[in-house]
Structure 1
Amino acid sequence: MLKEGDRAKILIVDDLPENLLALEALLKHDDIAVFKADSAESALELLLVHEFALAILDVQMPVMNGFELAEMMRSTEKTKHIPIVFVSAAGHDRNYAFKGYESGAVDFLYKPLDIHAVRSKVSVFVDLYRHRKEMKRQLEALERSRQEQEVLLEELRQTQTELQHAVRMRDDFMSIVSHELKTPLNTLILEAQLRKIYLGKNNLSAFTPDKLMDMVERDERQIHKLVRLIDDMLDVSRIRTGKLSIRTSRFDLAHLVTTIVENFMPQLKAAGCELTVDVPDSIEGEWDEFRIEQVLANLLTNAMRYGAGKPVHVKLDVQADQVELSVKDSGIGISTEHQDRIFRQFERVSGSEGVAGLGLGLYIADQIVRAHHGSIGVKSIEGQGSTFSVILPLNGAAAVEQARNRPVLVEKERRDMQDSA
């Protein structure tokens, strides 16, 4: 026994109950559901609710006859495609049949009804209905499949774009790393070759104490550059795996900032950057001293790179239960659309071509500050310089303990590729 929803529905309309019962008995079958209406009005109510495979209408009915009902069905979107078969006792009158076909009939049944003819014709229309339904289902399935394929294609396009971006990032990274590593290595190689030439010529006058000190200092600067590049790459690897170590201890942040600035004084002077410092006598709190030094060193390095020959201002201030450390330069500045991007891996400020660096400093600084449950931001106008501000909780031990229990790499990583694409 088929379910109601799987059975083809047939509507029979006749004003005589005995005709309805006789036709229902004739059409009754497991795969057919018969609906009866004793007037055109009742038929219209059923037509609004159900989807019929066939409508069998008696022509001669009071109030509204079968022809008029057929015309109404043809004028309504929901019912205009239902095949209509008229039942008539008027014989095979051509004009009568013509009027029926003009009203939308597909066939005529004449009384007295031929049982085999009725069942055969109904079977044909039911089969056609089922074929149409199946075709509709297949078309809908095809459309769903097409839409799913469109979604998959779009996902593939996005994946391809992300992969292309990742490849470009990798290639750019390798190119930058290669260039940045070669610069200090080439300098060291040239220095070593020059000394070898001096020694080969027995020119010991090139190795006076003052000249040796200069050589050692030059070597030391290049070695420090190499160490810093390698440390940056190692930090990125640690961040990616959630293994950036944060070890807090209580120390005086004001003293640390003053010490770092003093260590940078020779480099700032060589870059022509006049330095002003606004730091209180003492600010004690709990942070990772090595990592906070790393953040400030990155900010000062950028201030020298992008603001060479112009003033740099460092300020440290206490605000309620947090501290704010800011580094202000008067360099090339950063456009509004690039101010978020600069905290991502390998991103460089527009106009920074020829400036040394991997584009990792701000990314690492951002991750370190986030690991302290702090924040870092920038305010900048192109051509007028930039101010980088770091906000840290004054007592960050609890925050850092939470950070230890989760990966340091935050949600930015997933967004980076989409935004860059």
Structure 2
Amino acid sequence: MLRKIEAKLLIVDDLPDNLLALEALLQGEERQVFQATDADQALALLLEHEFALAILDVQMPGMNGFELAELMRGTERTKHIPIVFVSAAGRELDYAFKGYESGAVDFLHKPLSPHEVRSKVSVFVELYRQRKALSRQLDALEQARREQEALLAELRATQSELQNAVRMRDDFMSIVSHELRTPLNGLTLEIHLRKLRLEQNRSEAFTLDKLRAMTERDERQIKSLTRLIEDMLDASRIRTGKLSIRPQQCDLSDLTRRVLENFAAQAHSAGSPIELHAPEPVLAIVDEFRIEQVIANLLTNALRYGARKPISVRVSAGSEGPRLEVCDQGLGISAEDQARIFQQFERVNGTGVTQGLGLGLFISEQIVRAHGGRIELLSQPGEGSCFTVILPREPQGVL
């Protein structure tokens, strides 16, 4: 690693012959020598390069070597560069003190000894390379530490996601088993009662009116089971990107009216009359089956949390495109819950209502997004909720 670290050396002398002689002595593997004939040239080089060593001639016109060294020591970029003075003066003690006070780490005395020059320079070059190697190792260790911290954070996030996925799976299985059991229990009970009456030869239990009522109850339970299964399948289609949208022109007002007719019995049972405001046709280019799902999910949600109060449904041609509003006067949704109810398996907390898989709003939002539209929500706890579906004027393709 040390052999790959280049050491830059600066020599400063006003005599070209001295520069050439020094450069010849200093040349070596992984070394680059820079020359300057005065302090100004030296300062320009010092600001441009990182030097392992500066060799300064003491006696120079203008700024001498001592003054240049003091300037280097006062500059953040150059204050750590080792300085070796070259001097023709003797080895007087005062002269040496002045040099060391200026920042020198050593002296070379003229006439120069090639062995002495090479030996001293090699020591400083080796120290520079070791210092740079250590700095690179420290940088690598710091980078490795940051990468480990990032990996650890990623692993913790993954662990949290896995724990959340396991929790969601357990919650989902609990919800599914409960929701599927309800209609199945009803069907099972009906079958047992009919078998018992048949065994008792009670033909009066199977009059046309009673058979009609039985059939209607069976149909409701089967529809409930079918809807639960379809919701789970749709959630799976959405996750795998296989929920197809086949848009065609339709009247959104008429489509909404037909869905409301199918909800008449549920609205009566929930004690929440539904008022439709759709005074004129509103043409939309949508997948009728999927938008019918959205309307049904929003109505189911309004009946479930509507606190037996009237529900308002409006269809209009908005400025952005066809617009559908479903508003109730029920429990309302807190700001905290509003941020998550469009996620899978999420339901409003603290309402006492535990029906459903928590997929209706998730599926509805994904269907509307697949059309290129959006769902907006306005709600306050205790003041009801208003869901607004805004569809684009043009079809948007396939999810």
- Report the TM-score, using the length of structure 2 for normalisation: 0.87
Partners of 1:375 and 1:28 in 2: CA distance: 73
Between stretches 338-347 and 295-304, larger displacement belongs to 338-347
Alignment partner, residue 153 of structure 1:
152
Between stretches 107-116 and 307-316, larger displacement belongs to 107-116
Alignment partner, residue 403 of structure 1:
397
Alignment of 1:337-416 (within 5 A): 337-393=336-392, 399=395, 402-404=396-398, 408=399
Alignment partner, residue 183 of structure 1:
182
Q: 1:54 to 1:375 in 2, by over 3 A?
A: closer
Once the 2 structures are TM-superposed, how far is the Cα of residue 251 of structure 1 from its aligned partner? 4.6
Aligned amino acid, residue 89 of structure 1: A
Partners of 1:168 and 1:133 in 2: CA distance: 52
Alignment partner, residue 414 of structure 1:
none
Contact 1:305-1:355 within 8 A present in 2 as well:
no
Between stretches 307-316 and 240-249, larger displacement belongs to 240-249
Partners of 2:39 and 2:320 in 1: CA distance: 82
Alignment partner, residue 332 of structure 2:
333
Aligned to 1:81, the other structure's residue is in SS state coil
Between stretches 261-270 and 182-191, larger displacement belongs to 182-191
Once the 2 structures are TM-superposed, how far is the Cα of residue 131 of structure 1 from its aligned partner? 1.9
Partners of 2:169 and 2:199 in 1: CA distance: 43
Q: 1:299 to 1:84 in 2, by over 3 A?
A: same
Once the 2 structures are TM-superposed, how far is the Cα of residue 64 of structure 1 from its aligned partner? 3.7
Aligned amino acid, residue 165 of structure 1: N
Aligned to 1:112, the other structure's residue is in SS state coil
Alignment of 1:92-131 (within 5 A): 92-131=91-130
Once the 2 structures are TM-superposed, how far is the Cα of residue 117 of structure 1 from its aligned partner? 1.4
Between stretches 89-98 and 129-138, larger displacement belongs to 89-98
Aligned to 2:357, the other structure's residue is in SS state coil
- 1:108-157: per-residue Cα shift (whole Å, max 9, x none)? 22232222111111111112222222222232333333333333333333
Contact 1:57-1:87 within 8 A present in 2 as well:
yes
Between stretches 277-286 and 355-364, larger displacement belongs to 277-286
Aligned to 1:342, the other structure's residue is in SS state coil
Partners of 1:300 and 1:357 in 2: CA distance: 13
Between stretches 246-255 and 119-128, larger displacement belongs to 246-255
Partners of 1:47 and 1:284 in 2: CA distance: 76
Aligned amino acid, residue 276 of structure 1: E
Aligned amino acid, residue 381 of structure 2: E
Once the 2 structures are TM-superposed, how far is the Cα of residue 374 of structure 1 from its aligned partner? 3.2
Partners of 2:369 and 2:123 in 1: CA distance: 74
In structure 1, stretches of 5+ residues that fail to align are: 409-421
Alignment partner, residue 261 of structure 2:
262
Q: What is the CA RMSD across the aligned residues, in angstroms?
A: 2.9
Contact 1:10-1:33 within 8 A present in 2 as well:
yes
Once the 2 structures are TM-superposed, how far is the Cα of residue 303 of structure 1 from its aligned partner? 0.9
Q: 1:188 to 1:66 in 2, by over 3 A?
A: same
Q: 1:85 to 1:358 in 2, by over 3 A?
A: same
Aligned amino acid, residue 121 of structure 1: K
- 1:143-199: per-residue Cα shift (whole Å, max 9, x none)? 333333333333333333333333332222222111111222223333334444555
Partners of 1:284 and 1:87 in 2: CA distance: 94
Aligned amino acid, residue 127 of structure 2: L
Once the 2 structures are TM-superposed, how far is the Cα of residue 228 of structure 1 from its aligned partner? 0.9
Alignment partner, residue 22 of structure 1:
21
Q: How many residues align?
A: 396
- 1:308-343: per-residue Cα shift (whole Å, max 9, x none)? 311111222234684322211101112234335322
Once the 2 structures are TM-superposed, how far is the Cα of residue 27 of structure 1 from its aligned partner? 2.6
Alignment partner, residue 170 of structure 1:
169
Alignment partner, residue 280 of structure 1:
279
In structure 2, stretches of 5+ residues that fail to align are: none
Partners of 1:271 and 1:303 in 2: CA distance: 10
Once the 2 structures are TM-superposed, how far is the Cα of residue 282 of structure 1 from its aligned partner? 4.3
Contact 2:284-2:322 within 8 A present in 1 as well:
no
Over the matched positions of the two proteins, sequence identity in percent amounts to 64
- Report the TM-score, using the length of structure 1 for normalisation: 0.83
Partners of 1:292 and 1:272 in 2: CA distance: 25
Aligned amino acid, residue 243 of structure 1: K
Aligned amino acid, residue 13 of structure 1: V
Alignment partner, residue 308 of structure 2:
309
Aligned to 1:277, the other structure's residue is in SS state strand
Partners of 2:267 and 2:132 in 1: CA distance: 81
Partners of 1:329 and 1:392 in 2: CA distance: 21
Aligned amino acid, residue 167 of structure 1: V
Partners of 1:350 and 1:306 in 2: CA distance: 11
Partners of 2:255 and 2:71 in 1: CA distance: 91
Aligned amino acid, residue 28 of structure 1: Q
Alignment partner, residue 417 of structure 1:
none
